[in-house]
């Protein structure tokens, strides 16, 4: 329609307006993960944002102080539920550090492979969610399909699709299945291909680029000061990856690159994740080659590893061993240790304190996304309100670990 | 103090100490089954074997043994030092003992443990001892290997009833003869004995007898494995769910130290275990006392009552206050309870002082039978304590009855739930006012105009003074049930409702003003290694 | 509880010979309702992963006419409570439920939503039925998509029958039973 | 490398500030006098030999029967030298009162939420923190859950629970014995004197 008066300048048309208060969440459709953002808007621009988390606080750390050391695994599973295996491994490594244990070679490779698979799944989910929030539904469907393949593999190995509780202190719950290697190789290409396929729809897509490039960018200095790690830190150009900086398990035996971005904006975050899927695949391929087919998975120590079930039913010795571990919990020497691994979102730390009994005295999880979301308000201030959701998506906030 | 060496560490000992005793006192752990600090030395389990180096200049005591040489796959002659039981060999000046550092000793322990488990049934899942079983602990510490025997184990009678309280399982028994020695030496009633030999031997009750003396529970307590179990605790709870609180037995005036084991999930007490105290009960308790944990739950009243009807606690307190207000103090008496702690009684006494009530009487259970081991005729845990806090002559319950009959006593504030006579209802009915602070139902609670629910000893901290005049603290185990509160708190509320404010409101403050009793004795006497040292760490 | 009685369409609609159909009005209504369930996903935690799988092509929730998510409770028929609900979240859940218009149904997706699961502590609501009434409980931590579909079908069945009693998704056969047989076979 | 860090610290501050050090499990740890908390942190960040430019983690520990009762534990990380350090400060009396520490927000911006969480869980206050609110729990919540004497199962509901027969009867009861197992820890966190 015709403007009322073409002589009048834009500025005169504008009316003075107070900033508008708006509550996003905690049950906002696009907020996967329950978080609440109290934003102050002038027009469409966010002038002030207060990110409130804790709607999924499930008392993880308190619960850990009630069972025994092994009973913590189900809880860590559910801390980062889009890559539980990485949490399993992280916690197991922390406790083993305290016990001074080293698991057999075969187990180390096994952990690496399962962990990297979980990382791929995690990145796929994160990217899928972010793309979907920008209206790109096709990649979401493709990537969920790819994730299903990984889930199937996990189901075959661990018996569970999502929450495996597969890690054990001093090893894993079961040795790899017979077809583990070939099945992994079989899905690997499909998953990577599917990831690329999805990315090809996005990376040069004009709408997508306009919506993400230069949006919610963060400088290296800020990111470091905020304690950011993982893909979000790397997207700013800092090549910091714990697998390289402080190699654990057998990561020093593989060659892989650490992808970095330069802007630290949403686009980079997505692309870094996309590239890491490739790197994970690389690591898995090498690991599958090097992994021995024979050999024990668990350390050989009756105080730590459960006996075979068959013996438990038949001989008193094995029954006693089973009882000691299950009823009293394996005894972890008194002391404290901070085990840190590179989870899908960054540094996943477990600070475990033991008083020498079978019950953890304190299990502290250092969730990567807690630090990330801590920087969210800084990120979205000055952005359009419509960019909050994709920014939030690109952080990959996982309620379980962020809210403990 | 003379010393000798264990694994190169200097260990002090007193004349007559065995190696084991000295080691335990020095905190060096030597495994043992059959030895018990309170019993004679049998040295039949062979678990505590140690290697004793010969004195300088003397040849070592060696044995010829055959050993399988795996290379030659044949048995060859080798010499081994003769190991000796640490529980039996007395420590000597400058003696050199090898325990954990001698592979002979380690192998011996491993073998002993393996033999003990040879015919042991796979019973842990259904065994009450599981979780506090020495076989389990020592397997992990000293064996750690699988079963080698592929034979069918020897089968023996299971679930044999030894008497009204004890069940015996021969397959689990390791014939340490602790129970036998206990009956013989402590109770002086040798009703148990060992029958047969080798791996078919078992404990038996002497013909025509049952295991029915006053200390049968102790046989279960001394049993290091699950062979003897009490019918009372059997299949009731799993010990790893239980926690222990340092408590004082409520059975009689001896005031035996005990652990009250309770389940925090259900807030329920499950059993008593004796707590070593050389000055009071050494390592023992009587059946009566062991069962007195039931008082924590049996016919409790946990809600306030006004004239027999349930009521809110606050309402009941104010009601009690208004009932007492109009009673002339010379016609009012207070009834102290030897069943309750010093704190409760002291609170009531100070209430009496505040109101100017002169008449004080004492109630409690009637006397029962006693013996010269532990059981006291006075079946109340705190008679001495009441006399102490009352700080003046206290009339007996009969005096109170006389007073009521004579009409000189019309109003009574009573503590406790036990009366020494069969039926006091007829007397108590004559009272104009009866305010009772008690924990369970009795003729007092039945006739109370107002009943205030007090905690049992299991639900509150309290000091009890035993017949010897020793003040001992009993710690809280379970949380107060429903409206129940510590007696002293209720009395304080009552006093406040009557317009009398006490100087104290917390337990600390109360204890500060309470007449001092002798300090609680240490749980673990210095000169005795604790049989259940691990347990004392629990609470 | 949890048993499924599948009514065939003919039970709902009797087709006569000469090309007309008769049915009861409320049955027709129920039949229409059960195949067009608009859902409000109240997604909080781990179960979201399986919820995604269920909605995605492989398991395809859409087959049951209940794919359309409505992000305002006022337009939704089914409230999917997916994941743990903390004490802090409880009031919000209650409010969302109250904003929904009748007829409305609630599905407790996963163990946490059903009972609080093993988060038996100060922070967690021990089952959403403490706050809102629940029609279908889907156990599992998280439940497999198959179980979820089973739960949805159970709900549809209940809607058809106008059955208001809550139901639990159970395994179609008793796993223990097989175990016993297995034991017998092996010896 | 990191052992050098401890030496640097001691050499710079002396034993009056660096109360004790150990490297159990290879994690170098320095216990810092609470009064110099921020000073030491700033030094560690700025000193060219340390350059601890990232605060990896900050949390509390409740040493129930120790005095002082609480430990605040910070894990520092240097992206330059790839070395790490754990620093601790001990604060608070036996009832958990007077637990006060300098905030590290001026040193590392990331400390903001970690300190809020520590306050939320332990009631440890941080001096000069921009906004010290509860972060994981709600304002109405009384007490601090991660203190050992807070009963783990004690909930504080915001909405009243529903009444009625259908509420609990329709499922198998989830009784105490079906929840978490207790009692492994034989230490009962009840103060002896009531």
Q: What is the pLDDT of residues A79-93, one digit of tens each?
A: 999 999 999 999 999
Give the Cα separation of B280 and A275 in Å (integer).
75
Residue from the list B117, B131, B140 with its beta carbon closest to the beta carbon of A316: B117
Subunit contact A78:C43, Cβ cutoff 8 A: no
CB B190, CB B198: distance < 8 Å: no
Residue B110, SS3 per DSSP? helix
Interchain CB distance below 8 Å, D166 and C91: no
How much is the pLDDT for A274?
94
Residues 467-496 of B with CB under 8 A from D: 475-476
Q: What pLDDT, on the 0 to 100 scale, is given for residue D174?
A: 41
- Per-residue pLDDT tens digits for A18-65: 788 888 878 776 666 688 899 999 888 999 999 999 899 999 999 998
Is B305-513 the same fold as B3-101? no
Strand, helix or coil at D173? coil
D82 Cα to chain A: minimum distance (Å): 6
Give the gap in angstroms from C-alpha C187 to the nearest C-alpha of chain A.
Answer: 14
CB of A327 within 8 Å of a chain B CB? The answer is yes
Q: Which two tokens stand for residue D126?
A: 């941080």
Class of CATH domain D2-150: alpha beta
Instruction: For residue B332, give every residue at least 6 positions away whose Cβ sits within 8 Å of its Cβ, in sequence order, or none.
Output: B324, B355, B357, B359, B409, B410, B411, B412, B413, B433
Using the beta-carbon criterion (under 8 Å), do A317 and B139 form an inter-chain contact? yes
Average pLDDT, rounded, for chain A = 90
List the single best residue of D61, D113, D154, D158 to mutate versus A (max A Cβ within 10 A).
Answer: D113
| Structure-token pair, residue A216 | 């919610």
**pLDDT on residue B534:** 43
From the candidate CATH numbers 3.30.70.20, 2.60.40.10, 3.40.50.300, 3.40.109.10, the one assigned to the domain spanning B160-297? 3.30.70.20
Dihedral angle over CA of B399, B401, B402, B405, nearest 10 = 160
Q: Which residues of D touch C115 (CB under 8 A)?
A: 171, 174
- ipTM of this complex prediction, to 2 decimal places: 0.83
Q: In Å, how far are A13, B54, B187 from A6, measured between CA atoms?
A: 11, 117, 115
Cross-chain residue pair A58–C49, CB shorter than 8 Å: no
Residues of chain D with pLDDT below 50 are 169-188, 190-194
Of D24, D134, D184, the CB nearest to A335: D24
Domains, chain A, ordered by start = 10-52 (no CATH), 60-297+327-402 (1.10.645.10)
Nearest-angstrom CA–CA distance, B195 and B205: 9
CB-based contact, D138 to chain C, within 8 Å: yes
Contact criterion met (CB < 8 Å) for A320 and B131: no
CA B257, CA B268: separation in Å to the nearest integer? 20
Kindly list the distances between the CA atom of residue A122 and the CA atoms of A86, A231, A339, D78, in Å, as whole numbers in the listed order: 10, 12, 21, 27
CB–CB contact D194 B508 (8 Å)? yes
Cβ pair A37, A51 in contact under 8 A: yes
Contact C115 D166 (CB under 8 A): no
The reply to whether residue B537 touches residue D186, judged by beta carbons under 8 angstroms, is yes
At which residue do the structure tokens 């033999």 appear? B115
From residue A7, how far is each of A11, A239, B319 by CA, in Å? 12, 55, 88
Cβ atoms within 10 Å of B399's Cβ, excluding its own: 16
Q: What's the rounded mean pLDDT across residues A269-278?
A: 94
Reduced to 3 states (helix: H, G, I; strand: E, B; else coil), residue C94 is: helix
* Cβ separation C89–A34 shorter than 8 A: yes
What are the sequence ranges of the domains in chain D? Answer: 2-150
For residue B172, the distance in angstroms to the closest alpha carbon of chain A comes to 11
Rounded mean pLDDT of A318-329?
A: 90
Chains C and A touch (3+ CB pairs under 8 A): yes
Q: Contacts by B313-320 with C-beta closer than 8 Å and gap 24+?
A: B313/B452, B313/B453, B313/B483, B313/B485, B316/B450, B316/B451, B316/B452, B317/B452, B317/B490, B317/B493, B317/B494, B317/B497, B318/B497, B319/B450, B320/B435, B320/B449, B320/B450, B320/B452, B320/B494, B320/B497
CATH of domain B3-101: 3.10.20.740
Q: Is the domain covering C24-171 a CATH 3.40.50.2300 domain?
A: no
Q: Is the peptide bond before A53 cis (omega within 30 degrees of 0)?
A: no
Greater model confidence, C15 or A205: A205
Best of A58, A68, A398 to disrupt the C interface by mutation (most C CBs within 10 Å)?
A: A58
Distances in Å between the Cα of A54 and the Cα atoms of A218, C41, C88, D120 are: 24, 19, 8, 11
pLDDT at C81 (0 to 100): 93
The pLDDT value given to residue D172: 42
Contact A227 D55 (CB under 8 A): yes
Q: How many C-beta neighbours within 10 Å does residue B389 have?
A: 24
C58 closest CB neighbour out of A29, A55, A145: A145
Q: How close are the terminal C-alpha atoms of chain B, in Å?
A: 33
Put the strands of the sheet holding A362-366 in their side by side order: A335-343, A346-354, A362-366
- Angle between the A105-133 and A266-290 helix axes, to the nearest 10 degrees? 160
Q: What is the pLDDT of residue C7?
A: 52
Does C181 score more than 60 pLDDT? no
Q: Which of A306-320, B152-166, C68-82, D153-167 has the lowest mean pLDDT?
A: D153-167
CB A133 within 8 A of CB A390: yes
Domain B305-513 is found in CATH 3.40.50.740: yes
Helix (H) or strand (E) holding A157: helix A137-158
Backbone angles phi, psi at C32, to 5 degrees: -65, -40
Mean pLDDT score, A378-399: 89
Q: What is the DSSP letter of B533?
A: H
pLDDT given for residue A290 in this prediction: 94
Is the pLDDT at A244 greater than 70? The verdict is: yes
Nearest by CB to residue D56, choosing from A62, A227, A336, is A227
- Summarize the confidence of residues C73-83 as an average pLDDT: 92
What's the rounded mean pLDDT across residues A119-146?
Answer: 91
Beta bridge pairs of residue B75: B68
Reference B315, options B186, B452, B408; nearest CA is B452
* Helical H segments across D14-133, by residue range: 37-46, 111-122
Per-residue pLDDT, averaged over A390-398, amounts to 88
Model confidence band, residue C175 (pLDDT cutoffs 50, 70, 90): low
What's residue D64's pLDDT? 84
Angle (CA) C151 C152 C153, round 5°: 90
- Report the alpha-carbon distance of residue C127 to residue B128 in Å, rounded: 35
Query: How much of chain A exceeds pLDDT 70, in percent?
Result: 95
Q: CB–CB of D183 and B461 under 8 A?
A: no
Q: What is the mean pLDDT of each run of 10 residues along chain B (539 residues)?
A: 91 92 93 94 93 90 89 91 93 91 93 93 92 92 89 91 94 94 94 91 93 93 94 91 91 92 89 91 92 91 90 92 84 91 92 89 90 91 90 86 88 88 84 91 90 93 90 90 90 90 87 76 43 41
How is the beta sheet containing A45-52 ordered, strand by strand?
A20-24, A36-42, A45-52
Per residue in A156-215, pLDDT tens?
Answer: 999 999 999 999 999 999 999 999 999 999 999 999 999 999 999 998 999 999 999 989
Q: Do A338 and D75 touch (CB under 8 A)?
A: yes
Alpha-carbon torsion angle D130, D136, D140, D143, nearest 10: -90
> What local confidence, expressed as pLDDT, does residue B524 receive?
43
Could you write out the DSSP letters of every residue in A72-125?
GHHHHHTTSTTSHHHHHHHHHHHHHHHHT----HHHHHHHHHHHHHHHHHHHHH
Here the tokens at position A211 are 């919506």
The confidence score (pLDDT) of residue D165 equals: 54
Alpha-carbon distance B127 to nearest alpha carbon in chain A (angstroms): 12
Lowest mean pLDDT among B373-377, C31-35, C160-164: C160-164
Label residues B133-164 b or e (16+ Cβ within 10 Å = b). bbbbbbbbebbeeebeeeeebeebeeeeebbe
Q: Do B122 and A313 touch (CB under 8 A)?
A: yes
Q: What is the 3-state secondary structure (H, E, C) of B465-490?
A: ECCCCCEEEECCCCCCCCCCECHHHH
d(CA B4, nearest CA chain A) in Å: 31
Domain regions of chain B by residue span: 3-101, 160-297, 305-513
- Residue A389 Ramachandran class (φ > 0 left, ψ -120 to 50 alpha, else beta): alpha
Q: Does C144 sit within 8 Å of A161, measured CB to CB?
A: yes
pLDDT value, residue B56 = 87
**Does D152 reach chain C within 8 Å, measured CB to CB?**
yes
CB-based contact (8 Å) between D162 and chain C? yes
Contact B101, B192 (CB under 8 A): no
Q: What is the token pair recorded at A329?
A: 């919990």
Among A122-126, A327-331, B39-43, B213-217, the range scoring the smallest mean pLDDT is A327-331
DSSP string, A332-350: --SEEEEEEEEETTEEEEE
Model pLDDT, residue B427:
86
The CA-atom distances, in angstroms, between A245 and each of A341, A344, D80, D85 are 11, 16, 10, 15
User: Considering only CB atoms, which chain A residues are within 8 Å of B537?
Assistant: none
Nearest CA to B485 out of B419, B415, B438 is that of B438
* CB contact at 8 A, B438 and B444: yes
A282 min Cα distance to partner chain D (Å):
25
SS3 content of chain D, % helix, strand, coil (to 5): 25, 20, 55
**Yes or no, beta carbons of B506 and D181 under 8 Å apart:** no
Q: In what order do the strands lie in the sheet with D18-22?
A: D18-22, D29-32, D84-91, D70-77, D54-62
Q: Which residues of A touch C69 (CB under 8 A)?
A: 29
Comparing C9 with C178, which gets the higher pLDDT? C178
Q: In angstroms, rounded to a whole number, what is the distance separating the alpha carbons of residues B331 and C76?
A: 75
Tell me the shortest Cα–Cα distance from D128 to chain B, in angstroms. 37
pLDDT for res D185: 39
List the domain boundaries for chain C. Answer: 24-171
Q: List chains touching D (3+ CB pairs under 8 A).
A: A, B, C
Q: Which two tokens stand for residue C165?
A: 């009693």
> In terms of residues, how long is chain D?
194
Eight-class DSSP state of C96: H
Q: pTM for this structure?
A: 0.86
């Amino acid at each position: 329609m015709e403007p009322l008066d073409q002589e009048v300048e834009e500025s005169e048309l504008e009316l003075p307006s107070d900033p508008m208060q708006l509550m996003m969440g905690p049950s906002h459709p696009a907020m996967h993960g329950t978080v609440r953002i109290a934003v102050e808007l002038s027009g469409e621009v966010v002038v002030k944002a207060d990110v409130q988390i804790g709607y999924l606080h499930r008392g993880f750390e308190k619960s850990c102080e009630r069972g025994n050391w092994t009973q913590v695994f189900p809880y860590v599973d559910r801390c980062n539920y889009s890559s539980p295996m990485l949490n399993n491994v992280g916690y197991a490594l922390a406790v083993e550090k305290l016990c001074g244990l080293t698991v057999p070679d075969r187990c180390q490779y096994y952990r690496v492979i399962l962990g990297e698979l979980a990382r791929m799944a995690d990145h796929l989910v994160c990217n899928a969610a972010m793309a979907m929030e920008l209206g790109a539904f096709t990649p979401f469907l493709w990537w969920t399909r790819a994730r299903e393949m990984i889930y199937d593999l996990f189901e075959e190995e661990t018996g569970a699709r999502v929450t495996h509780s597969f890690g054990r202190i001093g090893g894993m719950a079961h040795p790899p299945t017979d077809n583990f290697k070939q099945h992994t190789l079989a899905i690997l290409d499909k998953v990577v291909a599917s990831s690329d396929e999805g990315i090809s729809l996005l990376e040069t897509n004009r709408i997508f680029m306009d919506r993400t490039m230069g949006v919610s960018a963060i400088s290296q200095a800020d990111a470091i000061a905020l304690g950011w790690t993982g893909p979000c830190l790397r997207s700013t150009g800092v090549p910091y990856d714990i697998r390289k900086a402080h190699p654990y398990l057998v990561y020093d035996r593989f060659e892989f690159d650490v992808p970095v971005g330069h802007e630290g904006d949403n686009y980079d975050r997505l692309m870094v994740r996309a590239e890491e899927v490739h790197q994970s695949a690389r690591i898995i391929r090498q690991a599958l080659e090097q992994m021995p087919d024979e050999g024990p998975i668990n350390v050989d120590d009756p105080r730590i590893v459960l006996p075979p079930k068959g013996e438990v039913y038949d001989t008193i010795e094995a029954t006693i061993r089973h009882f000691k571990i299950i009823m009293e919990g394996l005894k972890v020497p008194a002391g404290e240790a901070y085990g840190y691994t590179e989870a899908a979102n960054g540094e996943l730390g477990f600070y475990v304190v033991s008083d020498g009994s079978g019950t953890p005295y304190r299990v502290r999880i250092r969730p990567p996304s807690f630090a990330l979301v801590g920087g969210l308000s800084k990120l979205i201030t000055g952005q359009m309100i419509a960019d909050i959701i994709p920014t939030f998506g690109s952080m990959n906030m996982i309620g379980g670990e962020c809210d403990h | 103090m003379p010393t000798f060496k264990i694994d190169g560490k200097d260990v002090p000992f007193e004349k007559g100490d065995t190696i084991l005793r000295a080691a335990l006192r020095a905190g060096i752990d030597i495994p043992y089954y059959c030895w018990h600090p309170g019993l004679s030395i049998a040295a039949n389990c062979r678990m505590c074997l140690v290697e004793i180096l010969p004195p300088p200049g003397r040849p070592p005591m060696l044995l010829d043994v055959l050993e399988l040489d795996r290379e030659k796959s044949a048995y060859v002659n080798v010499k081994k030092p003769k190991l000796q039981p640490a529980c039996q060999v007395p420590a000597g000046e400058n003696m050199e003992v090898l325990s954990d550092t001698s592979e002979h000793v380690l192998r011996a322990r491993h073998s002993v443990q393996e033999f003990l488990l040879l015919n042991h049934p796979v019973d842990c899942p259904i065994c009450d001892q599981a979780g506090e079983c020495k076989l389990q602990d020592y397997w992990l510490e000293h064996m750690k290997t699988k079963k080698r025997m592929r034979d069918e184990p020897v089968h023996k009678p299971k679930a044999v009833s030894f008497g009204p309280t004890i069940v015996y399982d021969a397959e689990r028994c390791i014939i340490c003869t602790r129970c036998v020695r206990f009956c013989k030496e402590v109770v002086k009633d040798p009703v148990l004995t060992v029958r047969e030999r080798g791996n078919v031997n078992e404990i038996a009750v002497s013909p025509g007898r049952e295991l029915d003396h006053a200390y049968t529970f102790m046989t279960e307590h001394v049993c290091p494995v699950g062979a003897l179990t009490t019918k009372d605790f059997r299949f009731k709870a799993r010990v790893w769910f239980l926690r222990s609180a340092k408590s004082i037995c409520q059975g009689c005036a001896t005031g035996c130290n005990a652990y009250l084991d309770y389940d925090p999930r259900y807030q329920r007490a499950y059993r008593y275990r004796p707590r070593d105290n050389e000055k009071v009960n050494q390592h023992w308790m009587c059946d009566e006392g062991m069962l007195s944990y039931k008082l924590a739950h049996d016919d409790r009243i946990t809600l306030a009552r006004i004239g027999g009807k349930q009521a809110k606690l606050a309402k009941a307190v104010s009601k009690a206050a208004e009932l007492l207000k109009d009673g002339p103090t010379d016609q009012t008496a207070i009834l102290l309870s030897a069943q309750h702690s010093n704190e409760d009684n002291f609170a009531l006494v100070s209430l009496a002082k505040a109101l100017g009530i002169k008449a004080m009487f004492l109630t409690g259970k009637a006397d029962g039978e006693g013996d010269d081991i532990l059981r006291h005729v006075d079946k109340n845990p705190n008679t001495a304590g009441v006399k102490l806090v009352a700080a003046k002559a206290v009339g007996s319950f009969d005096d109170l009855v006389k007073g009521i009959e004579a009409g000189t006593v019309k109003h009574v504030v009573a503590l406790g739930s036990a009366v020494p006579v069969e039926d006091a209802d007829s007397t108590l009915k004559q009272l104009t006012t009866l305010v009772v602070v008690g924990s369970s139902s009795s003729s007092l609670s039945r006739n109370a105009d107002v009943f205030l629910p007090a905690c049992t000893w299991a639900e509150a901290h309290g000091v009890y003074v035993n017949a010897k005049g020793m003040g001992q603290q009993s710690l809280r185990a379970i949380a107060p049930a429903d409206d129940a509160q510590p007696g002293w708190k209720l009395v304080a509320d009552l006093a406040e409702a009557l317009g009398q404010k006490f100087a104290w409101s917390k337990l600390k403050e109360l204890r500060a003003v309470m007449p001092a009793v002798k300090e609680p004795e240490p749980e673990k006497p210095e000169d005795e290694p604790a049989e259940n040292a691990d347990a004392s760490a629990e609470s | 509880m949890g048993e499924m009685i599948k009514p065939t369409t003919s039970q709902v609609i009797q087709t006569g010979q000469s090309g007309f159909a008769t049915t009861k009005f409320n049955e027709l209504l129920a039949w229409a309702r059960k195949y067009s369930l608009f859902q409000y996903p109240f997604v909080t935690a781990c179960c979201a992963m399986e919820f995604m799988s269920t909605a995605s092509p492989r398991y395809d929730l859409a087959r049951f006419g209940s794919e359309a998510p409505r992000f305002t409770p006022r337009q939704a028929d089914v409230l999917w409570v997916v994941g743990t609900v903390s004490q802090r979240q409880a009031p919000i859940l209650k409010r969302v439920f109250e904003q929904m218009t009748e007829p409305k149904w609630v599905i407790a997706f996963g163990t946490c939503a059903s009972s609080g699961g093993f988060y038996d502590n100060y922070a967690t609501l021990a089952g959403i039925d403490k706050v809102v009434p629940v029609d279908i409980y889907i156990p599992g931590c998280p439940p497999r998509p198959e179980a979820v579909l089973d739960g949805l079908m159970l709900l549809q069945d209940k809607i058809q029958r106008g059955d208001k009693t809550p139901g639990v998704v159970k395994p179609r056969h008793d796993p223990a039973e097989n175990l016993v047989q297995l034991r017998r076979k092996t010896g | 490398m990191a052992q050098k860090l401890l030496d640097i610290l001691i050499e710079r501050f002396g034993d009056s500030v660096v109360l004790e050090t150990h490297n159990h499990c290879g994690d170098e740890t320095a216990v810092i006098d609470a009064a110099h908390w921020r000073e030491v942190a700033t030094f560690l960040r700025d000193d060219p030999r340390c350059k601890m430019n990232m605060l990896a983690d900050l949390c509390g520990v409740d040493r129930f029967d120790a005095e002082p009762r609480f430990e605040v534990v910070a894990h520092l990380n240097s992206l330059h030298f790839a070395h790490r350090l754990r620093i601790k400060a001990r604060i608070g009396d036996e009832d958990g009162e007077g637990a006060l520490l300098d905030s590290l927000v001026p040193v590392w911006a990331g400390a903001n939420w970690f300190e809020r969480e520590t306050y939320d869980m332990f009631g440890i206050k941080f001096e000069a923190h921009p906004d010290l609110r509860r972060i994981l729990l709600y304002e109405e919540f009384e007490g601090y859950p991660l203190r050992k004497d807070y009963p783990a199962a004690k909930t504080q509901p915001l909405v009243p629970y529903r009444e009625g027969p259908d509420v609990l009867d329709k499922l198998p009861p989830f009784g105490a014995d079906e929840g978490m197992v207790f009692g492994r820890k034989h230490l009962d966190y009840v103060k002896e004197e009531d």
